[in-house]
Structure 1
């Protein structure tokens, strides 16, 4: 296992290096930040001074080498717009995005696994068909449209929940969280549900497919033949085995939820990393965009490693590469 972890860490380092090159090259090509940051009425001297101050007067390869040198020391540059370290700005918004993503995944897991089990155990029942029809809608409806409909229904028409923002927060371990206050929790519900719909549909279909496959296995039939209670058969013999693919996919999906919650954060004005990314792209704030993308890459790398370890714990028969070395 130690050899496997070391090899995965080495592979992760290669991925981070490759992505840093691609990200930097891509951001370099999207436009000139000076066109956004400097007034069109500025004279040539002011424009040249601004370009030199931001380090944009150097060729791309020199800018990249300076970036790598600073990144090795934990400095991903200073925001062109805010004038503060870009990494600190991204990490400041990270708790809001993490909270939203975890709540969305919690909704997807808590509702998706029982619904998927039900649809898998009773596929021909009315409830099973309704569940699968609902999962198709979850895949099909655009996230931004669902978000606006949720705002219209629960914020505008019924007035039950706030339409946007993060609301009141409370500190835990030095970090501000919304779920610790009633007002913050009210602000969290709609964006979390909106972000969870696609993942909920995915979990339902994974759990249903796994349930239908596992239910036909000999060990499940034998457990039923021994007279075990249905709840024990489902909870011990079926649920544990369907969790292997579910955990694998959910681990990867958690990274995607954190990285791509841009639409939900924009619709609900949630002050997370996604909204910061959109604002930074519009303002061509290169350091912030690069910091966001590299933080996202690191998240995917860490989550993939954790998923591999959990995967092996769920099924001892699985032998990861290098595990016997």
Structure 2
């Protein structure tokens, strides 16, 4: 087990190093931030001063080495636009994005798991077929269109929920959270539901497929033959085993909730990392873009690592293979 964890850690470090080069080169070959940051009427001397100030006059390889040195020290550079540490800007916006992502994940699991379990246990019922037909909408409808419709219906026409912003927040453990206030929850509902729609359909269909695969297994038939109650068979033998693929997908999808919340945050003016990265791309704020992308890389690497650990807890076969 320890050997496996060490090997996984080493592989993760290699992936991180490779991604630093890909991200840095990819970002630096797109556009020239000087054209946006400097007044077009500025003279050559002023442009040269700004270019030297941001270190853009150095060769790309030298910029990359300085970038790597900064990462080791936890420094991703200073934002061209805000003149603040890029990592600090992202960490300021991270709680809002995490709050939105966790709420969306909670909605997806709270709705998708029971509906998928029901549809898998009773596949021939009309209600199950209606559920599965409805799940297709979650895959088919574009996120931006659903977001606009939610704003139009619940904010403009009915006036039940606010259409933008984060609302009132309360500080907890030094971080501002909106889900702890009534006004914050009202602001959170629409963007969280919009972000959760696709994931809910995914969890629902994964759960249904898992139930259909697990039910015919011998250990389920044996559990029923022993006279166990149907509730115990479902929640101990069926649900536990189908959670292995569900955890894998949900773990990776949580990373995508954070990484690709850009559309939802833009529609609802949610002040998270997605909104920041859109603004940074428009202004070619390279340090913020690179820092954001590297944060996403670290997030997915950590999620994969956590999923590996969850495997060992849920599936004894993984532990046995690790010992071998």
What interval of TM-score do these two structures reach, taking the shorter chain for normalisation?
over 0.9
Deviation readout 1:207-240 (Å, 9 max, x if unpaired): 0000011111122223233333222221111111
- Displacement of 1:249: 0.8
Instruction: Provide the residue aligned with 2:312 in structure 1.
Output: 312
Instruction: Provide the residue aligned with 1:116 in structure 2.
Output: 116
- Displacement of 1:277: 0.4
Instruction: Provide the residue aligned with 2:251 in structure 1.
Output: 251
State the secondary structure of the residue aligned to 1:212.
helix
Counterparts of 1:4-23 in structure 2, within 5 Å, are 4-23=4-23
1:169/1:179 contact within 8 Å kept:
yes
Q: How many residues align?
A: 324
1:191/1:265 contact within 8 Å kept:
yes
Instruction: Provide the residue aligned with 1:83 in structure 2.
Output: 83
Instruction: Provide the residue aligned with 2:233 in structure 1.
Output: 233
Counterparts of 1:175-194 in structure 2, within 5 Å, are 175-194=175-194
Deviation readout 1:42-62 (Å, 9 max, x if unpaired): 111111111111111111111
- Displacement of 1:169: 0.6
Instruction: Provide the residue aligned with 1:278 in structure 2.
Output: 278
- Displacement of 1:3: 1.4
Instruction: Provide the residue aligned with 2:74 in structure 1.
Output: 74
1:280/1:286 contact within 8 Å kept:
yes
Alignment of 1:324 onto 2:299:
no
Mapped to 2, the partners of 1:146 and 1:320 lie a distance apart of: 46
Mapped to 2, the partners of 1:79 and 1:202 lie a distance apart of: 37
TM-score (norm 2): 0.98
1:312/1:320 contact within 8 Å kept:
no
Deviates more, 1:15-24 or 1:2-11: 2-11
Mapped to 2, the partners of 1:9 and 1:31 lie a distance apart of: 35
Instruction: Provide the residue aligned with 1:106 in structure 2.
Output: 106
Hey, which bits of structure 1, 4+ residues long, moved more than 6 A?
A: none
Mapped to 1, the partners of 2:102 and 2:18 lie a distance apart of: 28
TM-score (norm 1): 0.97
Alignment of 1:25 onto 2:25:
yes
Deviation readout 1:258-316 (Å, 9 max, x if unpaired): 11111111111111111100000000000000000001111111111001101110111
1:252/1:304 contact within 8 Å kept:
yes
Deviation readout 1:26-76 (Å, 9 max, x if unpaired): 111111000110111111111111111111111111111111111111110
Mapped to 2, the partners of 1:231 and 1:8 lie a distance apart of: 38
Counterparts of 1:59-208 in structure 2, within 5 Å, are 59-208=59-208
1:4/1:320 contact within 8 Å kept:
no
Q: Mind listing any 5+ residue stretches in structure 2 that lack a counterpart?
A: none
Mapped to 1, the partners of 2:76 and 2:102 lie a distance apart of: 26
Mapped to 2, the partners of 1:2 and 1:318 lie a distance apart of: 13
Mapped to 2, the partners of 1:163 and 1:230 lie a distance apart of: 45
Mapped to 2, the partners of 1:288 and 1:228 lie a distance apart of: 57
- Displacement of 1:320: 7.7
Deviation readout 1:107-142 (Å, 9 max, x if unpaired): 111111100011111111111111111111100100
Mapped to 2, the partners of 1:188 and 1:264 lie a distance apart of: 11
State the secondary structure of the residue aligned to 2:176.
strand
Mapped to 2, the partners of 1:127 and 1:42 lie a distance apart of: 68
Mapped to 2, the partners of 1:71 and 1:113 lie a distance apart of: 40
Instruction: Provide the residue aligned with 1:48 in structure 2.
Output: 48
State the secondary structure of the residue aligned to 1:192.
helix
State the secondary structure of the residue aligned to 1:317.
helix
State the secondary structure of the residue aligned to 2:317.
coil
